[in-house]
Amino acid sequence: MKREVDNVKKTSGNMDFGMFVITITLLCIGLVMVASASSYHALIYYGDSNYLFYRQLAFAVVGVVAMVAISMIDYKKYKKWAYIGFAFSAILLLLVLTPLGITRNGATRWLGFGESLQFQPSEIMKPMLVIAIATYLSRNVKKISSYKGYIVPVIMLLIVVLLMYWQKHMSGMIVLIVAAVSVIFASGIKLKTKVILAGILIIGLVGAAFVMAEEFRLQRIFSFLNPEQDLKDGNWQPAQSLYAIGSGGLMGRGLGQSRQKYLWLPEAQNDFIFSILAEELGFVGTTAVLALMGFFIYKGYKIAMTCKDFYGSLIAAGITSVFAFQMLVNVAVVTCSMPVTGMPLPFFSYGGTSLFINLCSMGVILNISKNCNNQ
């Protein structure tokens, strides 16, 4: 292991090695938590308590290899393929709406073959949207001195929002909006107060309409506003999450000793894996992990701010914002600070496609840190 780390150091140039270490650390902790949180679920549904862990581990290994490989590819080469990648990702999102789409837990958001190979195209779209918008803005620096220069990025975003709306994938749609908006803001757009207020109003109205369009979303809002009611239905998951977090105490029950993972807490290995972490590692362990996440976000934005290349800075800001938003929302949901939404925790939640794409995205950021520092 030490030899492999030394090899990475030698070939990394001025790559931000601290970001690499933090990423691997979060990944390792996430794998341990998947092994613990998924054990009973995997035993009941697959007959092997390590079934989901082995799958996650396989994607992690392939993802780390891809991350290291991508970190050696000059990110400027993405300009040539950015629009093609965006179009391909949009086609995949469209295919979800056809009979090729796969339904799981009442939601049709997947493509794939059988049970063993399924993926969410929205995960692929996250970095593709960031790279496509960053490519356009970096190629049209003179045009973005006015609002007209942002018409194309807004059209790209609207295409994605429309496709996600048809999928009824609200959480994914919000993440993609954050991805696009973060790149646009990082480009230095100057907004007047009335434009900002109008934007907030439009987003608020569209969000309200989207929530009211489906009864289950409206029910989640009511459940959130009345946390002590409907404990056997709408508030079951939040209540079990709080039980898990509260029972962790200062030092936790101990690794692998969670009680809520025994099918009390639905999706314990997915969106609510942080609750199991809090139950097993307690306040001390939770604080340490949150500190690592905070440092991870800080390093990502530092790379974006110190990058001497406009294109690299935009990509780093966009990808980091996606990670930061997902981490913030997931922790807020499991602590009942906001209504329940299907937002996975990067590097922790079970899901091979998501983990692989996250690690590939980190490869891009690592290359940006290397190339920008070498300029």
Using one digit for the tens of pLDDT, what is the confidence trace for 154-164? 999 999 999 99
Q: Is residue 40 domain-resident?
A: no
Domain membership of residue 318 as a residue range:
81-346
Question: Measured between alpha carbons, how far is 342 from 330 in angstroms, rounded to an integer?
Answer: 8
Q: Is residue 55 domain-resident?
A: no
pLDDT at 364 over 70: yes
Residue type, 369: S
Q: Is residue 200 domain-resident?
A: yes
Tokens of 347: 């590097």
Q: Is residue 74 domain-resident?
A: no
- Tell me the average pLDDT across 255-261: 93
Q: Is residue 368 domain-resident?
A: no
- Tell me the average pLDDT across 280-298: 97
What pLDDT, on a 0 to 100 scale, did the predictor assign at position 331?
A: 96
What pLDDT, on a 0 to 100 scale, did the predictor assign at position 118?
A: 84
Taking the CB of residue 171, how many other CB atoms lie within 10 A of it?
19
What pLDDT, on a 0 to 100 scale, did the predictor assign at position 77?
A: 95
What pLDDT, on a 0 to 100 scale, did the predictor assign at position 171?
A: 87
- The pLDDT confidence band at residue 114, using thresholds 50, 70 and 90, is low
- More confident: 229 or 344: 344
| Number of structural domains in the chain | 1
Q: Is residue 137 domain-resident?
A: yes
Query: By three-state DSSP, how is residue 119 classified?
Result: strand
Torsion of CA 118, 122, 126, 130, to 10 degrees: 130
Please give the mean pLDDT across all residues of the chain: 88
Tokens of 97: 């709406």
Q: Is residue 297 domain-resident?
A: yes
- Tell me the average pLDDT across 196-222: 74
Q: Is residue 269 domain-resident?
A: yes
Using one digit for the tens of pLDDT, what is the confidence trace for 16-27? 999 999 999 999
pLDDT at 12 over 50: no
Q: Which of 56-70, 203-217, 303-317 has the lowest mean pLDDT?
A: 203-217
pLDDT at 2 over 60: no
What pLDDT, on a 0 to 100 scale, did the predictor assign at position 374?
A: 53
What pLDDT, on a 0 to 100 scale, did the predictor assign at position 206?
A: 73
